[in-house]
């Protein structure tokens, strides 16, 4: 997922929150700020952008508190004098509030003391990872509306070692949530934590709980794993599916999902003219591979007076003859030419005026060669059939069903490795491991390794950060090929529940946005396939949507409306308990591989721990189809002992990291199957 409301470290004790959605309510207009010559003051500024904040940090500016955002703007509290105030204002910083003048410290302390708040631990968990102990806490203050409250957590170990660390305020959609910090390294297991605030409030002393507090059954000797040797393209994945079906015919069905995708294809396009001067964008209606790559287009001067605009298409060359006046001078504009081509050849070409070329005289230009621009030479053209594996001894719908699907987002290359490793472990160990055999006998497992193969092909061959599918719904000047890497629909914003079209937050109507929701709910073949599979198999009652990266484990609700931050309905307390208890088991299973512990702060409802994702698939599976639907973000941050920092792994880490992710998260999916089996057994 591209945007995450995470803490971005910009300096040791300095973090920045970026909120996804500006609040509708506007801040009060700032009063005029004036300082006497040489007078120091602590002033809250609204900075024009994050880049200025970075410059200030790099330049050693006296930032008094952590910056934050409000109404989409970056706010920073800075100690300045009158000269510095003038300099910052000249750079675009807007002074909003004089928090404190140079001599008012005593008065402020008095005011704070009168308003002591109450603190309450929402979370206090410790765990060990590769011999290292970590503590993570969330604390809520009753002074929810005071953005200046600073909270410090103090910890103690059994042998009396103590220390403390600051928390940072977390707001979402303009609403205070809690204060928290990234997991902190500890010298040993913490046995007590307390919190204190700058308003004078304190919490009760708490004994942190162990996280996740669950371990899976051990694997038997001879258990087979590690079936992933390299990143896999959609072609590789199709071959793997075929091989598994051939190798284990008694345990596997291959399901061809009903909606073929567009395929790895694009229309062919060319600039007619110079896009830096005056140009028309000419595009084929059919895809480039349908005989339109290599078609040429040109404009010519007819060389005679009083000619109308005209065109011929012959021998794969479109020739446009420009109109002329009484003197024989060409008089067609870019708009004339674009409209003429679209009207004259509606079945074959469409043309739009390039941005910035509107109304300009159309030059004599070309011939220009239309091309789809696709770089992948080993990708089959044509519509793609997305496939699912169905694994189980009894595949007649009588067993509880589990659905796991990956690569809704094209660039998340590690995710199909997770689901394919999971699939092959079930199959390869069936004959020799009784525990695996029992799972495969008792559960009906559906796996879609790549939901979005067209986007994946584009990610492998053309633009590695491609997130969306390959369907271009843009119109007009946004069809300019300069935007080619921004086209497509975000498959995981194209579902029907809590969608952009319903007014939920976290998707866009802009066809160039990374979270473009499509033209309508389920406008895309990719999303329709996921729902079609789930609907066709009503025994499916658990689902896991595998994404990368960041190390999250999430469940509904996944979206809210901005005004008041109203989420989709919360699960019942029983369902929430099932989600959390299962999460502990699955997080515990993931941790057995190489000690990766998904943080408690990243375990919970999508809307709370990540962001609002309007129209995501898990919400439709849960609210409409009654499936308990989770999401993984594989690829947890790694602790760097040298720098004492958590470091992100990215969408396409070096293969060794992706391989490790596939192994640990396949463990998690196996535990999910055990959860399905245990729940079915408990209900009998
Ligand atoms: Zn994703």
CATH number for the domain harbouring residue 616: 3.40.630.10
Question: Is position 633 annotated as part of the catalytic site?
Answer: yes
CA of 22 to the centre of ligand 1 (A): 23
Residue-level pLDDT at 115: 65
Q: Same structural domain for residues 241 and 297?
A: no
Residue-level pLDDT at 103: 55
Q: Same structural domain for residues 658 and 576?
A: yes
What's the pTM value of the predicted model, to 2 decimals?
A: 0.83
Q: Same structural domain for residues 131 and 176?
A: yes
402 is in which domain, residue-wise? 234-261+392-463+524-683
* Annotated catalytic residue within 283, 354, 408, 633: 633
Q: Same structural domain for residues 255 and 272?
A: no
With respect to residue 16, please indicate whether it lies within any of the assigned structural domains. no
With respect to residue 348, please indicate whether it lies within any of the assigned structural domains. yes
Residue-level pLDDT at 656: 98
Of the candidates 637, 663, 665, 668, the one whose C-alpha atom is nearest the C-alpha of residue 650 is 637
Q: Same structural domain for residues 136 and 282?
A: no
Q: In which residue ranges of the chain is pLDDT below 70?
A: 1-32, 60, 64-72, 103-115
Exposure letters 621-653 (e unless 16+ CB within 10 A, then b): bbbebebbbbbbbbbbbbbeeeeeebeebebbb
With respect to residue 653, please indicate whether it lies within any of the assigned structural domains. yes
With respect to residue 567, please indicate whether it lies within any of the assigned structural domains. yes
CA of 560 to the centre of ligand 1 (A): 18
Q: Same structural domain for residues 530 and 626?
A: yes
Residue-wise pLDDT for 380-392, tens only, equals 989 999 999 999 9
How many structural domains are present in the chain? 4
CA of 548 to the centre of ligand 1 (A): 6
Residue-level pLDDT at 29: 41
With respect to residue 534, please indicate whether it lies within any of the assigned structural domains. yes
CA of 623 to the centre of ligand 1 (A): 20
CA of 674 to the centre of ligand 1 (A): 25
**CATH assignment at residue 196:** 2.60.40
Q: Same structural domain for residues 530 and 665?
A: yes
Q: Same structural domain for residues 166 and 246?
A: no
What's the distance, CA 216 to chain centroid? Answer: 29
Residue-level pLDDT at 174: 86
With respect to residue 483, please indicate whether it lies within any of the assigned structural domains. no
Q: Same structural domain for residues 89 and 197?
A: no
Distance CA 273, CA 367 (A): 9
Residue-level pLDDT at 33: 78
Q: Same structural domain for residues 277 and 365?
A: yes
CA of 127 to the centre of ligand 1 (A): 27
With respect to residue 224, please indicate whether it lies within any of the assigned structural domains. no
CA of 450 to the centre of ligand 1 (A): 12
Q: Which two tokens stand for residue 240?
A: 């793997």
Q: Same structural domain for residues 333 and 451?
A: no
Q: Which residues contact 270 (CB under 8 A, 6 or more apart)?
A: 281, 282, 296, 297, 366, 368, 369, 370, 371
In the block, tokens 């994945």 appear at 237
Residues with CB under 5 A from ligand 1 (ion): 1, 409, 547
With respect to residue 220, please indicate whether it lies within any of the assigned structural domains. no
Q: Same structural domain for residues 95 and 155?
A: no
Q: Which two tokens stand for residue 162?
A: 């103590």
């Amino acid at each position: 997922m591209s945007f995450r409301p995470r803490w971005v470290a910009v300096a040791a004790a300095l973090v920045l929150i970026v909120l996804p959605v500006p609040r509708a309510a506007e801040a009060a207009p700032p009063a005029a700020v004036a300082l006497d010559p040489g007078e120091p003051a602590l002033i809250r500024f609204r900075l024009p952008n994050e880049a200025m904040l970075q410059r200030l940090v790099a330049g050693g500016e006296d930032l008094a508190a952590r910056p934050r955002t409000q109404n989409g703007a970056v706010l920073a509290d800075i100690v300045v004098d009158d000269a510095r105030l003038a300099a910052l204002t000249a750079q675009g910083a807007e002074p909003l509030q004089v928090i404190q003048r140079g001599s008012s410290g005593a008065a402020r302390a008095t005011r704070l003391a009168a308003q002591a708040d109450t603190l309450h631990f929402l979370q206090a968990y410790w765990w060990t990872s590769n011999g290292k102990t970590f503590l993570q806490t969330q604390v809520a203050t009753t002074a929810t509306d005071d953005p200046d409250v600073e909270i410090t957590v103090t910890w103690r170990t059994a042998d009396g070692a103590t220390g403390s660390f600051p928390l940072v305020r977390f707001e979402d959609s303009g609403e205070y949530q809690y204060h928290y910090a990234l997991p902190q390294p500890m010298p040993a297991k913490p046995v007590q934590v307390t919190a204190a605030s700058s308003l004078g409030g304190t919490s009760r002393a708490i004994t942190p709980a162990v996280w996740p507090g669950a371990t899976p059954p051990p694997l038997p000797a001879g258990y087979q794993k590690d079936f992933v040797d390299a990143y896999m393209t959609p072609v590789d994945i199709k071959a793997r599916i075929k091989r598994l079906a051939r190798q284990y015919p008694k345990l596997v069905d291959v399901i061809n999902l009903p909606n073929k995708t567009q395929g790895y294809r694009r229309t062919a396009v060319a600039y007619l003219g110079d896009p830096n001067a005056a140009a028309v964008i000419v595009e084929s209606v059919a895809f480039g591979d349908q005989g339109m790559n290599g078609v040429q287009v040109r404009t010519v001067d007819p060389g005679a007076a009083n000619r109308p605009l005209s065109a011929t298409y012959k021998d794969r060359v479109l020739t446009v003859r420009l109109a002329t006046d009484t003197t024989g001078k060409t008089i067609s504009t870019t708009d004339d030419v674009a409209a003429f081509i679209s009207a004259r050849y509606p079945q074959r070409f469409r043309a739009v005026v390039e941005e910035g070329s509107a109304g300009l005289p159309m030059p004599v230009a070309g011939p220009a060669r239309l091309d789809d621009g696709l770089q992948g030479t080993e990708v089959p053209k044509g519509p793609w059939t997305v496939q699912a594996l169905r694994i189980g001894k009894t595949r007649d719908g009588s067993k509880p069903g589990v659905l796991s699907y990956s690569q809704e987002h094209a660039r998340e290359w590690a995710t199909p490795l997770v689901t394919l490793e999971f699939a092959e472990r079930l199959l390869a160990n069936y004959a020799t491991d009784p525990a695996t055999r029992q799972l495969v006998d008792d559960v009906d497992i559906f796996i879609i390794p790549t939901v979005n193969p067209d986007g994946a092909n584009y990610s492998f061959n053309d633009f590695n950060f491609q997130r969306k599918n390959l369907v271009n719904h843009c119109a007009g000047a946004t069809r300019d090929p300069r935007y080619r890497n921004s086209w497509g629909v975000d498959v995981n914003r194209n579902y029907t529940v809590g969608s952009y079209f319903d007014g939920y937050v976290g998707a866009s109507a802009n066809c160039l946005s990374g979270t473009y929701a499509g033209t309508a709910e389920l406008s895309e073949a990719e999303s329709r396939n996921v729902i079609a599979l789930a609907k066709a198999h009503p025994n499916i009652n658990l689902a896991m949507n595998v994404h990368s990266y960041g190390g999250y484990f999430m469940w509904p609700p996944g979206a809210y409306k901005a005004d008041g931050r109203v989420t989709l309905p919360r699960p019942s307390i029983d369902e929430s308990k099932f989600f959390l208890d299962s999460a502990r088991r699955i997080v515990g299973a993931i941790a057995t591989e190489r000690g990766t512990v998904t943080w408690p702060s990243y375990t919970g409802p999508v809307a709370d721990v990540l962001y609002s994702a309007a129209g995501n698939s898990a919400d439709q599976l849960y609210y409409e189809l009654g499936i308990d639907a989770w999401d993984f973000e594989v690829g947890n941050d790694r602790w760097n002992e040298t720098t004492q920092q958590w470091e992100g792994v990215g969408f396409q880490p070096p293969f060794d990291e992706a391989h490790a992710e596939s192994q640990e998260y396949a463990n998690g999916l196996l535990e999910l199957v055990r959860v399905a089996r245990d729940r079915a057994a408990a209900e009998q």
